[in-house]
Amino acid sequence: MSSARRARPGWFRKNTPALLSLVLTVPLAGWWTTHTDYKSWYDAEPREAVTVAAGGTQYADATWYAASVEVDPQPTRKNAVPDPLPEGTTRVRVYLRLQVDDVKKLESVSGCQVHLRAPDGRIWDASNLESDFQDRPTGCTGGYDDKPASFRDPKIAQYYLKPQAGKPFETVAVFVVPESVASSVQPTVTWATRLPEYLAFPR
C-alpha cells in the first residue's frame, strides 16, 4: 500500500471562479454607480437655454417678455434701513414680465425658480430676505390680494391684483451678488419639471 497522498488544490485554485467574478463585478458596479450619479446630475443641470426674444417668447403656456435689471436699487419703502451686505457684494433687482391667455394656465408657470447666471457659469438664487426691495409679487403666477389697500402702499397695490387673461403682469426677484459680476449676470428661470431647459433673458 502506497503512503503517498494526493496534493490538495491550493486556496487560489479553489476560489478562481469567485475571484474572476469579483474582477468583473467590482469595476462594473463602480462604473454603473458613477454613470447613474452623473446622469442624475446631468439631467438636473440647466444647460439648454430658451432665449426670450425682444417681442416675446411662448413658453410653458405663457408669453415671456424682456427682463428689466437694476443694479444697487433703492428700497421701495421710505425710510427703510436695509441690513448691511457682505463686503464686495451688491443687490440686483430683476423685473420679469409675462402674460397668459387663460388665467387657468398660470398653473403651468407655477413652481418657477428665478436665478442670475454669470458668464462663467455661476448661478445665484433669489433672496427672499430682501423684502424692502420688492414692490411686485415674487412668484411667476403673479400676486393676488382681495384687499390690497388694507396693508400695502396704494402706489404698488395695483401690482398685487390677480393677473388677467391677455394682460401682461410683472414679477420681481432680488439677488445679492458680487459687485464684479453685477453688470454681466443674466436673469434665468427654471422649472424642476422642465430641466435641462431654462428661460434666458438677454441683458
> What is the signed CA dihedral for 199, 185, 172, 84, rounded to 10 degrees?
150
Does 105 or 36 have the greater pLDDT score?
A: 105
Whole-model pTM above 0.85? no
Determine the Cα–Cα distance for residues 194 and 203; give it in Å rounded to an integer: 23
- Give the pLDDT confidence score for residue 65 in this predicted structure: 97
pLDDT level of residue 22 (50, 70, 90 thresholds): confident
- What are the C-alpha distances in Å from 137 to residues 94, 95, 134, 146? 12, 10, 8, 14
Question: How does strand 57-59 pair with strand 62-71?
Answer: antiparallel
Does 8 or 166 have the greater pLDDT score?
A: 166
- Predicted confidence (pLDDT) at residue 30 exceeds the cutoff of 80: no
Which three-class secondary structure state does DSSP give residue 197?
Answer: strand
pLDDT tens column, 105-155: 999 999 999 999 999 999 999 987 788 898 899 989 988 777 766 667 777
Grid cell listed for 191: 422649472
Determine the Cα–Cα distance for residues 135 and 155; give it in Å rounded to an integer: 9
What is the rounded average pLDDT for all residues in the chain? 86
